C-alpha cells in the first residue's frame, strides 16, 4: 500500500511542467563565457570582447533574477466549502503577493492534475494562471471556479509557482502546500426509504426495546392501573377527583439506525490473472469501481433521507481509507458529517482482521436498533451469520446489487435498486 501511495505521489509530481532554461544560461555557462572573455582579451579581439562581455553581463543578470524571483512570495488560498457532494460547484479565493522590491515580468500559478476535480472554465483537469508584470509589493486577487465530478478526498492546496527573467531564457519554480483539502461526498440520488416498523420501541436493549420518557414533559393523565409507579402519581388530580391518577410523560423517540458497508465483493484479486489478461482485468476493475461508486451514492442518499427525519445513524465497514488505514466504527449520532467523511475516504481495499466485520458488530457494538447491511451480493457466509444471530437482532436487512441463490432464500434481503422509483430502475 505504501509503494502505491509513493507511486501516486511521483505521478502527481510529474504532472507539473518542468522549468525551461536556455542552454546558454545553464549553471556552468558563466564559466564558459568568462573563459571566452579571457581568450578575447588575450588576443585583443575587440568584437569577441564586446560579445563576451554582453553575454556574461546578461547571464549574471538572468541568473540573479531567477534566484530572487520567488523569494518573499506570499500565497493564500481559501475554499468556499470544505465538504461538498459530487457534481456540485465550489470556488477558491486565491491571492499572490510580491513582498520584495524586485518586479516580476511574468508569474505562473499552476495546480497539478487532480482527477475528479475541474478548475476554471476550460473543463480540463489542470489549471494554469499567468500574470504579466507583478510589480514590487503588489498583490493580486482572483476567484477560481471549480466543480467536483467524483467522490474522494482531494488535496487541491498543492500549488506550483513559476517565474524568471523577462526574456524567458531561464525559469525557476517552487511548490507550496496551502492545505486546501476538499471532501467530496458521493452523489445524492432520489430515493424512497422504508419506514421502520411502527411497533418498534427505541432506545432500550432486548428484542422489543422500550421507550425513553422525559419526566419534565407531562403529556396527560389517566386513572391508576396496576403496575404504575408511585413516582408517576398526580396527587393534585387524585385529590380533586377522589381517584388515583398517574401522569403520562412525553416519550423521547431515540430512533437509530446502524449501517454496515461490506466491500468484500468489490475487491479484485489481481494475482489470479496473467499478463495476457491485462485488458480483461482492466475491464473488471473499471466495472467493480463503477458498481462501488454507485452503491456508495445509494448509501449516501439513504443516510441523507434518514438524517432529514432526525434519525441517529452509525456506520461500520471492513474497508480501508484512501491512506490505507483502518476505518473505525462511528456510533449513532444526528451529526452525519463523520459518516459522510468516511464515505468520501472509503476505498474497496479490505482491512485484514481475525474477526469478520459481521461478527465484530456483536463484539464491539451493543445493537438495540435496526441494522442495514450493504454488499455487492449476499453470500453463504452472510446467510449463515444471519441464521446464527437473528434472535439477537431487532431488525436486520440486507441490500445487494446482484442476486444470488443465498439472497433468494434470505427473506430479509432486497435489491439495492428497490430504493429507486420504477422510472429510475428502468433507466439502469
Please tell me which residue, 313 or 201, carries the higher pLDDT value.
Answer: 313
CA distance 177 to 9: 14
List the alpha helices (DSSP H) in 203-277.
235-241
Please tell me which residue, 358 or 363, carries the higher pLDDT value.
Answer: 358
Q: Mean pLDDT over all residues of the chain?
A: 79
| 188-197, 380-389, 395-404, range with the lowest pLDDT | 188-197
Question: Is residue 393 predicted with pLDDT exceeding 80?
Answer: no
Q: What is the pLDDT of residue 43?
A: 78
Long-range contact set of residues 3-12: C-beta below 8 Å, sequence gap at least 24? 5/323, 5/324, 12/112, 12/113, 12/158
Question: Is residue 207 predicted with pLDDT exceeding 50?
Answer: no
Which H helix or E strand runs over 386? helix 380-389
pLDDT band at 113 (very low <50, low <70, confident <90, very high): confident
User: Residues in the chain, how many?
Assistant: 428
What percentage of residues in the chain have a pLDDT greater than 90? 32
Cell of 120: 476554471
Rounded to an integer, the average pLDDT of 226-242 is: 72
| 74-78, 154-158, 229-233, 343-347, range with the lowest pLDDT | 229-233
pLDDT band at 425 (very low <50, low <70, confident <90, very high): low
Rounded to an integer, the average pLDDT of 282-304 is: 93
For the chain, state the CA radius of gyration: 33
CA distance 36 to 83: 61
Contacts of 94 (CB under 8 A, 6+ apart): 75, 76, 77, 78, 109, 129, 141, 142, 143, 144
Cell of 293: 461508486
Strand ranges (E), 178-252: 181-185, 212-223, 245-252
Q: What is the pLDDT of residue 52?
A: 74
Please tell me which residue, 44 or 210, carries the higher pLDDT value.
Answer: 44
- Beta bridge partners, 79, equal 92
Question: Is residue 175 predicted with pLDDT exceeding 80?
Answer: yes
Question: Is residue 209 predicted with pLDDT exceeding 80?
Answer: no
Question: Is residue 203 predicted with pLDDT exceeding 60?
Answer: no
Rounded to an integer, the average pLDDT of 382-391 is: 88
Question: Is residue 211 predicted with pLDDT exceeding 50?
Answer: no
Rounded to an integer, the average pLDDT of 85-112 is: 92
Highest mean pLDDT among 256-260, 272-276, 372-376: 372-376
Using left for φ > 0, alpha for ψ between -120 and 50, and beta otherwise, residue 298 falls in alpha
3-state DSSP call for residue 210? Answer: coil
Cell of 361: 458488530
| 49-53, 147-151, 305-309, range with the lowest pLDDT | 49-53
Contact 161, 107 (CB under 8 A): yes
Q: What is the pLDDT of residue 84?
A: 95
Q: What is the pLDDT of residue 200?
A: 46
Using left for φ > 0, alpha for ψ between -120 and 50, and beta otherwise, residue 119 falls in beta
CA distance 376 to 357: 15
| 198-202, 323-327, 334-338, 368-372, range with the lowest pLDDT | 198-202
Contact 206, 392 (CB under 8 A): no
Q: How far is CA 331 from CA 14, 162, 186, 195, in A?
A: 41, 47, 21, 21
Q: What is the pLDDT of residue 196?
A: 61
CA distance 351 to 21: 47
Question: Is residue 135 predicted with pLDDT exceeding 80?
Answer: yes
CA distance 300 to 303: 5
CA distance 413 to 105: 66
Q: What is the pLDDT of residue 237?
A: 74
Residue among 356, 395, 400 nearest 375 (CA)? 400
Contact 268, 286 (CB under 8 A): no
Q: Model pTM? A: 0.74
CA distance 30 to 56: 6
Number of helices (H), then strands (E), belonging to the chain: the values are: 10, 21
Rounded to an integer, the average pLDDT of 193-207 is: 52
| 120-124, 220-224, 387-391, range with the lowest pLDDT | 120-124
Residue among 302, 292, 284 nearest 347 (CA)? 292
Question: Is residue 359 predicted with pLDDT exceeding 80?
Answer: yes
Contact 343, 84 (CB under 8 A): no
Q: What is the pLDDT of residue 225?
A: 65
Q: What is the pLDDT of residue 380?
A: 94
Residue 301 has phi, psi (to 5 degrees) of -65, -40
For strands 158-164 and 104-111, give the pairing: antiparallel
Question: Is residue 295 predicted with pLDDT exceeding 60?
Answer: yes
CA distance 247 to 254: 21
Question: Is residue 184 predicted with pLDDT exceeding 90?
Answer: yes
Residue identified by cell 452523489 is 187
Amino acid at each position: 500500500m505504501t509503494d502505491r501511495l509513493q507511486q501516486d505521489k511521483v505521478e502527481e509530481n510529474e504532472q507539473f511542467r518542468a522549468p525551461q532554461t536556455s542552454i546558454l544560461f545553464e549553471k556552468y555557462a558563466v564559466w564558459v563565457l568568462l573563459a571566452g572573455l579571457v581568450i578575447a582579451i588575450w588576443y585583443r579581439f575587440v568584437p569577441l570582447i564586446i560579445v563576451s562581455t554582453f553575454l556574461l553581463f546578461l547571464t549574471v543578470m538572468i541568473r540573479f533574477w531567477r534566484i530572487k524571483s520567488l523569494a518573499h512570495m506570499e500565497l493564500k488560498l481559501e475554499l468556499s466549502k470544505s465538504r461538498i457532494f459530487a457534481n456540485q460547484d465550489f470556488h477558491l479565493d486565491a491571492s499572490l503577493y510580491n513582498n520584495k522590491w524586485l518586479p516580476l515580468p511574468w508569474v505562473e500559478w499552476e495546480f497539478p492534475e487532480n482527477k475528479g476535480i475541474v478548475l476554471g472554465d476550460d473543463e480540463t483537469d489542470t489549471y494554469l494562471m499567468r500574470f504579466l508584470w507583478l510589480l514590487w509589493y503588489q498583490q493580486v486577487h482572483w476567484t477560481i471556479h471549480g466543480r467536483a465530478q467524483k467522490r474522494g478526498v482531494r488535496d487541491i492546496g498543492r500549488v506550483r509557482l513559476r517565474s524568471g527573467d523577462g526574456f524567458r531564457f531561464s525559469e525557476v519554480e517552487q511548490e507550496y502546500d496551502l492545505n486546501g483539502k476538499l471532501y467530496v461526498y458521493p452523489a445524492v440520488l432520489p430515493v424512497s426509504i422504508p419506514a421502520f416498523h411502527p411497533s418498534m420501541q427505541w432506545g432500550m436493549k432486548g428484542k422489543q426495546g422500550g421507550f425513553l420518557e422525559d419526566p419534565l414533559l407531562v403529556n396527560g393523565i389517566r386513572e391508576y392501573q396496576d403496575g404504575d409507579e408511585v413516582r408517576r402519581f398526580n396527587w393534585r388530580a387524585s385529590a380533586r377527583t377522589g381517584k388515583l391518577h398517574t401522569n403520562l410523560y412525553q416519550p423521547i423517540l431515540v430512533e437509530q439506525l446502524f449501517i454496515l458497508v461490506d466491500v468484500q465483493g468489490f475487491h479484485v484479486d489481481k494475482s489470479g490473472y496473467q499478463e495476457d489478461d491485462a485488458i480483461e482485468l482492466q475491464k473488471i476493475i473499471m466495472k467493480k469501481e463503477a458498481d462501488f461508486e454507485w452503491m456508495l451514492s445509494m448509501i449516501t442518499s439513504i443516510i441523507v433521507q434518514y438524517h432529514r427525519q432526525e434519525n441517529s445513524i452509525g456506520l461500520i465497514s471492513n474497508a480501508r481509507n484512501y491512506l490505507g488505514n483502518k476505518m473505525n466504527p462511528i456510533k449513532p449520532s444526528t451529526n452525519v458529517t463523520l459518516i459522510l467523511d468516511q464515505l468520501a475516504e472509503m476505498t474497496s481495499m479490505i482491512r485484514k482482521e481475525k474477526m469478520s466485520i459481521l461478527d465484530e458488530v456483536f463484539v464491539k457494538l451493543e445493537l438495540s436498533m435496526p441494522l442495514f447491511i450493504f454488499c455487492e451480493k449476499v453470500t453463504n457466509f452472510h446467510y449463515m451469520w444471519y441464521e446464527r444471530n437473528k434472535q439477537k437482532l431487532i431488525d436486520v436487512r440486507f441490500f445487494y446489487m446482484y442476486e444470488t441463490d443465498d439472497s433468494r432464500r434470505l427473506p430479509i434481503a432486497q435489491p439495492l435498486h428497490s430504493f429507486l422509483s420504477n422510472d429510475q430502475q428502468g433507466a439502469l
